Amino acid sequence: MKSLAHSALLACSFVAAAQGAVVPRTLGPVLVTLGGLTFINKGLVAVGTISAQLRDTLGETIGGIGSAIALEPGTFTKQSGTYSGTLITQPDRGHNTEGTIDYRARRQYFDFTFAPYYGTGKLPFDVGTKTLKLTYRRTALTFDRKRGRTTGLDALGVRPQTPGYPQNPFADPPIPIANATYNHLTIDAEGLVINKDGSYFVSDEYGPYIYRFRRDGTLLSTIQPPEALVPLIGGSLNFTSAINPDTGRTPNQGFEGLTISPNGRYLYAMLQSATIQDGGSSKSTNRYTRLFKYVVSGNSRPKLEGEWIVPLPQTSKGTTLAQSEIHYLNKNQFLVLSRDGNGHGGDSTQSSYKQADLFDISKATDIHGSKFDGLTPVAPKGVLDPSITPAAYASFVNYLDPDQLGRFGLQNGGAKDKTLISAKWESFALAPVLDRSFPNDYFLFTMTDNDFITINGSAAGVPYVDPYGQDVDTQAFVFRVTLPNVEKFNV
């Protein structure tokens, strides 16, 4: 992989212009090659915000919605240069900056419109952040079996395995619940995939499990990952996020990324960072995370068909930059969102890394079904087993580019106010630009999880004021990118 000279892009642009094509104006486009293909970041083209004080139809604060997003199938359109559609957004476990709460899992629906801004001039913040207009439409709850409620409370209990699992694909393995007396499924929802039949997959950090829900939101089935990932304390399942397990996923670092192939056959999930036995207890050793591939088509039980190691980026001081989302491009290549935790809502206003990057598994070692699916570490103390070749990783779209932020009135590292880029970017969605001159161009939607931070909130029927001391609005960006060899999909 390598970055190509900016002059190469300019040469291509001049050729296209000479042929009559309309070339979007950008500041400093970036070209990257990976797996023999060239990817182009053409820059930020729209920005929107959602008020931190907005309430949903249940009367609760709308927050955390950027934990996962998906385009509602059949809604994306283009008319006279303006694009519109509906985003399905998914909060995580509710307002939890001071502990977990009894927050019911849900999806929030937002209609959007935008006309891409390709100019190089700097727009004022209040103008720049209206280039993407987001309008709340409705809320849909997610349910346990028999329409039981879910909760965001820490998982201090385990519901026993349903008889017949795994022979019966619609039975459950042992799943996390709040506690023995409050027998409600606990979900810290992160990834979201919408299927063609209206059902949907949700990846969870407590398990880390993957749940499939019917169109009406009722739990249909559960995917339990290999033993290497399930949290064990003293040899027993323990799903709490309050302490490290002996082995398994690191607390709050479960299945953060979830994506599916356009034909609906292959589902991919990726841990936010390494398991405990692979160095997950320290940010200096938790670089080597795992990607899983499941066959999920038809009515048969999902089958694990592939597993690879993905090396996450690290800072100059050796701190791992955990991933927050992935998106399928083709059978070998994916987008991945890696970031630090600084920015609006974080501890520091100075962010150093927030990016939509690329990785390629074509030459990586497939470890599924091997000893590494048990308790044998793949990277003890963060040192990768020499028998394993990890995925190739390439830097791509930099959210912190000061010129791009400045075009929309945003900044990094300055005042702690609404113009500051948010801390927690956690989601992706793709839509075609529908430009005949550039058939491989896509809009990359990305959104923040604001942790429900507001000075005027309501959660689980209780008002709250977050100790951060000010509202942190949800931010949404739209980038224009050229993605070669993307398997075509309908939106």
Average pLDDT value for residue range 15-27: 36
Q: Is residue 20 part of a domain?
A: no
The 8 Å CB, 24+ separation contacts for 381-387 are 381/279, 381/285, 382/274, 382/278, 382/279, 382/282, 382/284, 382/285, 382/286, 382/287, 382/288, 383/279, 384/288, 384/309, 384/311
- In contact, 10 and 28? CB cutoff 8 Å: no
**Residue 168 pLDDT:** 62
pLDDT reading at 2 higher than 70: no
Q: Is residue 21 part of a domain?
A: no
pLDDT reading at 441 higher than 50: yes
Domain that holds residue 79: 40-482
111 or 164, which is more confident: 111
- Give the three-state DSSP class for 294: strand
Looking at the DSSP assignment, which residues form a beta bridge with residue 325?
Answer: 337
**Residue 166 pLDDT:** 60
Looking at the DSSP assignment, which residues form a beta bridge with residue 243?
Answer: none
pLDDT reading at 137 higher than 60: yes
CA-CA distances (angstroms) from residue 236 to 93, 174, 241, 252? 24, 11, 15, 19
Range list of H helices, 109-237: 125-128
Respond yes or no on whether the N-terminal peptide bond of residue 166 is cis (omega within 30° of 0).
Answer: yes
Q: Is residue 44 part of a domain?
A: yes
**Residue 170 pLDDT:** 66
pLDDT confidence bin for 135, thresholds 50/70/90: very high
For the entire predicted model, the pTM comes to 0.93
How far apart are alpha carbons 20 and 14 in whole angstroms?
10
Tell me which H or E stretch contains 255: strand 255-260
**Residue 18 pLDDT:** 26
Average pLDDT value for residue range 274-297: 97
CA 127 to chain centre: 27
Tell me which H or E stretch contains 17: helix 6-18
**Residue 167 pLDDT:** 56
Phi/psi for 6 (5° steps) reads -60, -30
- Give the three-state DSSP class for 316: coil
Q: Is residue 195 part of a domain?
A: yes
Q: Is residue 109 part of a domain?
A: yes
For 213-224, b/e burial (b = at least 16 CB within 10 A) is: beeebbbebbbb
Q: Is residue 2 part of a domain?
A: no
pLDDT reading at 7 higher than 50: no
**Residue 479 pLDDT:** 98
pLDDT reading at 51 higher than 60: yes
Phi/psi for 473 (5° steps) reads -65, 150
Average pLDDT value for residue range 466-480: 98
How far apart are alpha carbons 244 and 252 in whole angstroms?
10
The percent of residues in the chain predicted with pLDDT above 90, rounded, is 88
Average pLDDT value for residue range 112-119: 97
pLDDT tens digits along 338-389: 999 999 999 999 999 999 999 999 999 999 999 999 999 999 999 999 999 9
Q: Is residue 5 part of a domain?
A: no
97 or 106, which is more confident: 106
pLDDT tens digits along 185-235: 999 999 999 999 999 999 999 999 999 999 999 999 999 999 999 999 999
- In contact, 99 and 72? CB cutoff 8 Å: no
pLDDT reading at 17 higher than 70: no
Looking at the DSSP assignment, which residues form a beta bridge with residue 477?
Answer: 47, 446
* Closest to 206 in 3D by CA, of 230, 183, 180: 230
**Residue 21 pLDDT:** 31
Q: How many domains does the chain have?
A: 1
pLDDT confidence bin for 299, thresholds 50/70/90: confident
Cβ burial, residue 443 (10 Å; 0-12/13-18/19+): buried
- In contact, 421 and 343? CB cutoff 8 Å: yes
Q: Is residue 16 part of a domain?
A: no
Tell me which H or E stretch contains 448: strand 441-448
pLDDT reading at 151 higher than 80: yes
pLDDT tens digits along 76-101: 999 999 999 999 999 999 999 989 99
How far apart are alpha carbons 441 and 262 in whole angstroms?
17
pLDDT confidence bin for 162, thresholds 50/70/90: confident
Average pLDDT value for residue range 309-326: 97
pLDDT reading at 53 higher than 90: yes
pLDDT tens digits along 384-435: 999 999 999 999 999 999 999 999 999 999 999 999 999 999 999 999 999 9
How far apart are alpha carbons 457 and 472 in whole angstroms?
12
166 or 134, which is more confident: 134
- Give the three-state DSSP class for 67: helix
Radius of gyration, alpha carbons of the chain? 22
pLDDT confidence bin for 300, thresholds 50/70/90: confident
